[in-house]
Amino acid sequence: MNKTYTRKIEDLMPVELQFHLLGEGSPKVFFSGGIHGGETTGIYVTQRMVDFLETNKLLKGSVKVLPVANVPAFRRLQRTSPYDELDLNRIFPGNKESTPSMAIADVIWEEAKDADYIVDLHCCGLWGSSYTLAMYEEFDHARELAKMLDIPAVIQSGGTRGQLFTEASHSGIPAVIIELPGGGPAGIIDIEAAKQCFQALLNLLRLLEMLPGEARIPESAFYGKLEPIRATRDGVFLPMVQPGSPINKDDMLGMLGNEQVLAPFDGIAIAVRPACYVFKDAGLAHVAPRTT
């Protein structure tokens, strides 16, 4: 049985979180978007998932979807809430007696904590590429969920506490983030990345035997933690690899003025800045070392 319902958080301005519960029973899957309000590609994917599942009669088990988790931040297409400037993805499990963001975290945690799987969708900026972020080194359950997602790269999380997926992982719930290109103050949606992510989520539901149809067995590569490559001086940066490209140690990632910017190890360039003027210490790329 499908239903849509809202939960209101009382404040000077009411905040209404809209949850969509599609199907019933187990397994229970929780998809969320917009924990950071400007991360619009993830919001778009969750909304398409609601549209799809509302008209699908073949779902076994239940999928709960929260497309816009941080409603006040979404209205400004920004990361944090204008009410209290808190980062919603640092304060789980929240506290209903505290600030608006703390109360939102409390409601989301209450709705998510009985899930068997949690996939939280985010954006990694306009020059990023899609990846799954998981505490796969610490938790086998997180590794198993990451393996079921047909997203080419899995990155080890730094494990910062207070994130929905890290708190869930510590509570024994398989939980990951999928980072997607897009977002920013212009609310840009990367449609191609959204389509791939949507298919990856449908494929997950098939692998869990919640939807009929042939499931693809993903072959994602696993990487260590992301590391920034920073400009050593002011200049013009000209990239020479695309975001999402595999890299080998000493590959040229780009030129900074007449200086080569080299890959520090074998791995992947998850994000690469487009051609632009940069100043010393600006981030030029995010890279992660290959672990498998």
**Per rule CB under 5 A, count of chain residues that contact Zn ion:** 3
In this complex, which beta carbon is closest to Zn ion, that of residue 122 or of residue 286? 122
Contact track, Zn ion, 80-119, x by CB under 5 A: ----------------------------------------
Give CA–CA dist 68/216, Å, rounded. 29
Smallest separation, CB 47 to Zn ion (Å)? 17
Q: Is 64 in the site for Zn ion (CB under 5 A)?
A: no
Report phi then psi at 33, rounded to 5. Answer: -135, 165
By CB under 5 A, which span of 31-39, 112-120, 215-223, 251-259 interacts with Zn ion? Answer: 31-39
- Distances in whole angstroms, Cα of residue 113 to Cα of each of 4, 86, 122: 19, 22, 19
Q: Which is nearer to Zn ion, 165 or 237 (CB)?
A: 165
25: alpha, beta or left? (left if phi > 0; alpha if psi -120 to 50): left
Give the residue with the Cβ less far from Zn ion, 62 or 101. 101
CB 284 within 8 A of CB 241: no
Residue 28 or 36: the one with the smaller Cβ distance to Zn ion is 36
Q: Find the binding residues for Zn ion in span 227-256 (CB under 5 A).
A: none
Q: Which is nearer to Zn ion, 36 or 286 (CB)?
A: 36
Q: Which of these ranges, 16-24, 37-45, 241-249, 271-279, lies near Zn ion under the rule CB under 5 A?
A: 37-45
- Judge contact between 133 and 145, C-beta under 8 A: no
Phi and psi at residue 219, in whole multiples of 5°? -125, 65
d(CA 204, CA 175): 13
Min CB(209)–Zn ion separation in Å: 30
Q: What is the closest distance, in whole angstroms, from the C-beta atom of residue 23 to Zn ion in the complex?
A: 27
In the complex, the smallest distance separating the C-beta of residue 204 from Zn ion, rounded to whole angstroms, is 20
Q: Give me the phi and psi of 49, to 5 degrees please.
A: -65, -40
Rg for the chain (alpha carbons), in Å? Answer: 19
Amino acid at site 285: A
Strand partners, 156: 134
Q: Which of 36, 64, 141, 143 binds Zn ion (CB under 5 A)?
A: 36
Options 20, 28, 122, 143; binder of Zn ion; rule CB under 5 A:
122
The residue written with tokens 């590391």 in the block is 227
Minimum CB distance to Zn ion, residue 137 (Å): 21
- Inter-axis angle of helices 40-54 and 191-207, to 10 degrees? 50
Q: Which is nearer to Zn ion, 120 or 251 (CB)?
A: 120
Interface contacts to Zn ion, rule CB under 5 A: 36, 39, 122
